[in-house]
Amino acid sequence: MSILKKINRENLSPKEALEILVEGNQRFINDVKRDQNLSLVREELKEKQQPFAAVLGCSDSRTSLELIFDQSLGDIFSVRLAGNVACRKAIGSLEYSCKYLGSKIIVVMGHSNCGAVKAACDNFKEGNIEEITKLIQPAVSDEKTIPDSERNSENSDFVSRVCFLNVQKQMEVIVNQSDIVKDLLQKKQIGIIGGVYSLTSGLVEFDHQNAIFS
Protein backbone atom coordinates (compact mmCIF):
# COMPACT_ATOMS: atom_id res chain seq x y z
CA MET A 1 0.00 0.00 0.00
CA SER A 2 1.14 3.50 -0.72
CA ILE A 3 2.31 5.52 2.25
CA LEU A 4 2.57 8.84 0.49
CA LYS A 5 -1.05 9.91 0.86
CA LYS A 6 -1.05 9.53 4.62
CA ILE A 7 0.72 12.88 5.01
CA ASN A 8 -1.14 16.09 4.19
CA ARG A 9 1.97 17.75 2.85
CA GLU A 10 0.28 21.00 1.86
CA ASN A 11 -1.09 21.87 5.29
CA LEU A 12 1.50 20.26 7.49
CA SER A 13 2.83 22.54 10.24
CA PRO A 14 6.58 22.61 11.02
CA LYS A 15 5.86 20.94 14.38
CA GLU A 16 3.87 18.17 12.73
CA ALA A 17 6.74 17.63 10.29
CA LEU A 18 9.10 17.24 13.25
CA GLU A 19 6.68 14.82 14.87
CA ILE A 20 6.76 12.59 11.78
CA LEU A 21 10.57 12.45 12.01
CA VAL A 22 10.50 11.71 15.75
CA GLU A 23 8.00 8.88 15.25
CA GLY A 24 10.04 7.48 12.35
CA ASN A 25 13.19 7.56 14.47
CA GLN A 26 11.37 5.61 17.19
CA ARG A 27 10.35 2.96 14.65
CA PHE A 28 13.98 2.75 13.49
CA ILE A 29 15.25 2.31 17.06
CA ASN A 30 12.65 -0.36 17.77
CA ASP A 31 13.23 -2.10 14.44
CA VAL A 32 9.57 -1.72 13.52
CA LYS A 33 9.92 -0.37 10.02
CA ARG A 34 7.01 0.75 7.92
CA ASP A 35 5.86 -1.54 5.17
CA GLN A 36 6.33 0.08 1.83
CA ASN A 37 5.95 -0.90 -1.77
CA LEU A 38 8.79 1.06 -3.31
CA SER A 39 7.81 0.40 -6.90
CA LEU A 40 4.41 1.95 -6.17
CA VAL A 41 6.00 4.90 -4.37
CA ARG A 42 8.32 5.39 -7.32
CA GLU A 43 5.35 5.41 -9.65
CA GLU A 44 3.54 8.04 -7.55
CA LEU A 45 6.60 10.25 -7.47
CA LYS A 46 7.56 10.14 -11.11
CA GLU A 47 6.14 13.59 -11.93
CA LYS A 48 6.58 15.50 -8.70
CA GLN A 49 8.25 15.53 -5.30
CA GLN A 50 7.11 17.30 -2.14
CA PRO A 51 9.56 16.28 0.59
CA PHE A 52 8.14 17.40 3.94
CA ALA A 53 11.59 17.81 5.52
CA ALA A 54 14.93 19.22 4.38
CA VAL A 55 17.81 17.76 6.35
CA LEU A 56 21.44 18.87 6.41
CA GLY A 57 23.29 15.81 7.67
CA CYS A 58 26.79 14.35 7.60
CA SER A 59 28.03 12.17 4.74
CA ASP A 60 29.01 9.48 7.25
CA SER A 61 27.91 6.11 5.87
CA ARG A 62 26.29 5.25 9.20
CA THR A 63 23.89 8.20 9.15
CA SER A 64 21.59 7.48 6.21
CA LEU A 65 18.68 9.83 6.76
CA GLU A 66 15.87 7.79 5.21
CA LEU A 67 16.83 4.80 7.36
CA ILE A 68 17.27 6.75 10.60
CA PHE A 69 13.88 8.45 10.25
CA ASP A 70 12.20 5.46 8.59
CA GLN A 71 11.02 7.54 5.63
CA SER A 72 10.59 6.72 1.99
CA LEU A 73 11.46 8.07 -1.41
CA GLY A 74 10.14 11.61 -1.74
CA ASP A 75 10.05 12.36 1.99
CA ILE A 76 13.39 13.95 2.81
CA PHE A 77 15.33 16.49 0.77
CA SER A 78 18.68 15.19 1.80
CA VAL A 79 21.73 17.49 1.88
CA ARG A 80 24.75 15.63 3.16
CA LEU A 81 28.29 16.90 3.60
CA ALA A 82 30.99 15.74 6.00
CA GLY A 83 30.48 17.60 9.26
CA ASN A 84 26.99 18.75 8.18
CA VAL A 85 28.53 22.07 7.20
CA ALA A 86 26.31 24.86 5.92
CA CYS A 87 28.38 26.02 2.95
CA ARG A 88 26.64 28.23 0.40
CA LYS A 89 25.75 25.30 -1.86
CA ALA A 90 24.19 23.42 1.05
CA ILE A 91 22.17 26.50 2.01
CA GLY A 92 21.06 26.90 -1.61
CA SER A 93 19.81 23.31 -1.60
CA LEU A 94 17.83 23.91 1.62
CA GLU A 95 16.39 27.13 0.18
CA TYR A 96 15.25 25.28 -2.92
CA SER A 97 13.61 22.53 -0.94
CA CYS A 98 11.71 24.89 1.37
CA LYS A 99 10.70 27.55 -1.14
CA TYR A 100 9.98 25.46 -4.23
CA LEU A 101 9.29 21.92 -3.01
CA GLY A 102 7.29 22.83 0.08
CA SER A 103 9.46 21.38 2.86
CA LYS A 104 8.13 22.47 6.25
CA ILE A 105 11.15 21.92 8.42
CA ILE A 106 14.92 22.22 8.19
CA VAL A 107 16.88 19.84 10.40
CA VAL A 108 20.63 20.18 10.93
CA MET A 109 21.79 16.80 12.15
CA GLY A 110 25.19 16.04 13.60
CA HIS A 111 26.19 12.68 15.03
CA SER A 112 28.37 11.10 17.67
CA ASN A 113 31.96 10.20 16.85
CA CYS A 114 31.95 12.36 13.68
CA GLY A 115 35.23 12.14 11.77
CA ALA A 116 34.89 15.65 10.37
CA VAL A 117 34.31 17.11 13.83
CA LYS A 118 37.27 15.14 15.15
CA ALA A 119 39.43 16.43 12.30
CA ALA A 120 38.43 19.99 13.18
CA CYS A 121 39.22 19.30 16.86
CA ASP A 122 42.75 18.34 15.76
CA ASN A 123 42.97 21.29 13.32
CA PHE A 124 43.55 18.78 10.53
CA LYS A 125 44.31 20.26 7.10
CA GLU A 126 44.96 18.36 3.90
CA GLY A 127 43.86 18.99 0.35
CA ASN A 128 40.24 20.06 0.11
CA ILE A 129 39.41 18.49 3.48
CA GLU A 130 40.38 21.86 4.94
CA GLU A 131 37.35 23.36 3.20
CA ILE A 132 35.26 21.27 5.57
CA THR A 133 37.24 21.59 8.78
CA LYS A 134 37.53 25.36 8.53
CA LEU A 135 33.73 25.59 8.57
CA ILE A 136 33.68 23.59 11.83
CA GLN A 137 36.40 25.72 13.48
CA PRO A 138 33.92 28.31 14.84
CA ALA A 139 32.37 25.51 16.94
CA VAL A 140 35.82 24.47 18.19
CA SER A 141 36.52 28.09 19.18
CA ASP A 142 33.13 28.36 20.88
CA GLU A 143 33.94 25.45 23.18
CA LYS A 144 35.42 27.12 26.25
CA THR A 145 35.20 24.53 29.02
CA ILE A 146 37.94 22.07 28.08
CA PRO A 147 41.54 23.04 29.02
CA ASP A 148 44.10 23.48 26.20
CA SER A 149 45.98 20.27 26.93
CA GLU A 150 42.81 18.18 26.46
CA ARG A 151 41.45 19.80 23.32
CA ASN A 152 41.94 17.02 20.79
CA SER A 153 39.98 14.20 19.15
CA GLU A 154 41.12 11.68 21.76
CA ASN A 155 38.90 13.46 24.26
CA SER A 156 35.37 12.21 23.59
CA ASP A 157 33.85 14.81 25.89
CA PHE A 158 35.49 17.59 23.87
CA VAL A 159 34.41 15.99 20.57
CA SER A 160 30.78 15.66 21.64
CA ARG A 161 30.66 19.24 22.93
CA VAL A 162 32.07 20.54 19.64
CA CYS A 163 29.59 18.35 17.73
CA PHE A 164 26.66 19.90 19.61
CA LEU A 165 28.01 23.44 19.14
CA ASN A 166 28.66 22.73 15.47
CA VAL A 167 24.99 21.90 14.90
CA GLN A 168 24.05 25.21 16.56
CA LYS A 169 26.63 27.12 14.53
CA GLN A 170 25.53 25.66 11.21
CA MET A 171 21.91 26.53 12.05
CA GLU A 172 22.97 30.11 12.75
CA VAL A 173 24.87 30.26 9.47
CA ILE A 174 21.82 29.05 7.55
CA VAL A 175 19.53 31.64 9.12
CA ASN A 176 22.05 34.48 8.89
CA GLN A 177 23.09 33.82 5.31
CA SER A 178 19.72 33.03 3.81
CA ASP A 179 17.12 35.71 3.17
CA ILE A 180 14.84 32.98 1.82
CA VAL A 181 15.02 30.94 5.04
CA LYS A 182 14.62 34.07 7.17
CA ASP A 183 11.56 35.09 5.17
CA LEU A 184 9.93 31.63 5.41
CA LEU A 185 10.63 31.51 9.16
CA GLN A 186 9.06 34.95 9.63
CA LYS A 187 6.01 33.87 7.67
CA LYS A 188 5.86 30.79 9.91
CA GLN A 189 5.89 28.52 6.89
CA ILE A 190 8.90 26.54 8.10
CA GLY A 191 10.75 25.72 11.31
CA ILE A 192 14.42 24.92 11.91
CA ILE A 193 15.87 22.61 14.53
CA GLY A 194 19.17 20.89 15.29
CA GLY A 195 19.73 17.36 16.47
CA VAL A 196 22.47 14.87 17.22
CA TYR A 197 22.25 11.22 16.18
CA SER A 198 23.80 8.57 18.39
CA LEU A 199 25.64 5.89 16.42
CA THR A 200 25.14 3.49 19.31
CA SER A 201 21.50 3.98 20.37
CA GLY A 202 20.10 5.17 17.02
CA LEU A 203 18.32 8.03 18.78
CA VAL A 204 18.25 11.55 17.33
CA GLU A 205 18.21 13.98 20.24
CA PHE A 206 16.63 17.21 19.06
CA ASP A 207 17.73 20.54 20.49
CA HIS A 208 14.35 22.13 21.21
CA GLN A 209 15.93 25.00 23.13
CA ASN A 210 17.60 26.50 20.07
CA ALA A 211 14.88 25.60 17.58
CA ILE A 212 12.91 28.26 15.73
CA PHE A 213 9.26 27.33 15.27
CA SER A 214 6.16 29.32 14.58
Q: Which residues bind Zn ion (CB under 5 A)?
A: 58, 60, 114, 116
Minimal distance in Å, beta carbon 117 to Zn ion? 6
DSSP calls for 22-84: HHHHHHHHTT-PPP--HHHHHHHTSS----SEEEEE---TT--HHHHTT--TTTEEEEE-GGG
> Is 58 or 106 the residue whose CB approaches Zn ion more closely?
58
> Is 20 or 85 the residue whose CB approaches Zn ion more closely?
85
CA distance 38 to 27: 18
Q: How many other CB atoms sit within 10 Å of the CB of residue 57?
A: 23
Minimal distance in Å, beta carbon 142 to Zn ion? 18
Q: How many other CB atoms sit within 10 Å of the CB of residue 180?
A: 16
> Is 58 or 90 the residue whose CB approaches Zn ion more closely?
58
Question: Of 51, 18, 82, 69, nearest to 197 (Cα)?
Answer: 69
Contact 200, 116 (CB under 8 A): no
Question: Of 124, 139, 123, 203, nearest to 171 (Cα)?
Answer: 139
Rounded (5°) CA angle 52-133-62: 50
Minimal distance in Å, beta carbon 148 to Zn ion? 25
Minimal distance in Å, beta carbon 84 to Zn ion? 7
Minimal distance in Å, beta carbon 125 to Zn ion? 17
> Is 65 or 116 the residue whose CB approaches Zn ion more closely?
116
CA distance 26 to 23: 5
> Is 105 or 117 the residue whose CB approaches Zn ion more closely?
117
Give the DSSP H or E segment for 212: strand 204-212
Minimal distance in Å, beta carbon 51 to Zn ion? 22
> Is 50 or 84 the residue whose CB approaches Zn ion more closely?
84
